[in-house]
Structure 1
Amino acid sequence: MKVTTLILFIMIVFLFGYALGRRIGLNEGRTQMEKMLPLFLKKETLENGTCVICNSRVEDDA
């Protein structure tokens, strides 16, 4: 009885830690992507010559 209870307790603690870590990781990833998205969109626009959002051509003024 004691071994079964101990194994069950360890599994519950492990699953709780996994769920908490996954949630924190997803939030950190979402925050990082929100910071990187404007740079990514600008890079894609400059490389391709078309706006990623509206597909209009970028005109060179220089």
Structure 2
Amino acid sequence: MDSYRTKTFNNSDIAKMGIFVIYTAYWGGIVADGEFKHYALDKITRSTNEVVLNFDNTNNEQSPRTI
């Protein structure tokens, strides 16, 4: 398992992100140049953990995505 969750996106409205693992929220990560990156090694402890990423625009409106 990678230490970081890293993916690309094509939605220019995305300004920030948060990660939820087993109902616990972790805010932060890097959102820049069509890519997001969040350190997850200490958060995702099993391959069966449900991980939900929330992406916010500059108006703090969320668009959740599960990976």
TM-score by length of 1: 0.17
* Greater helix share, structure number: 1
* Greater strand share, structure number: 2
TM-score by length of 2: 0.16
Larger Rg: 1
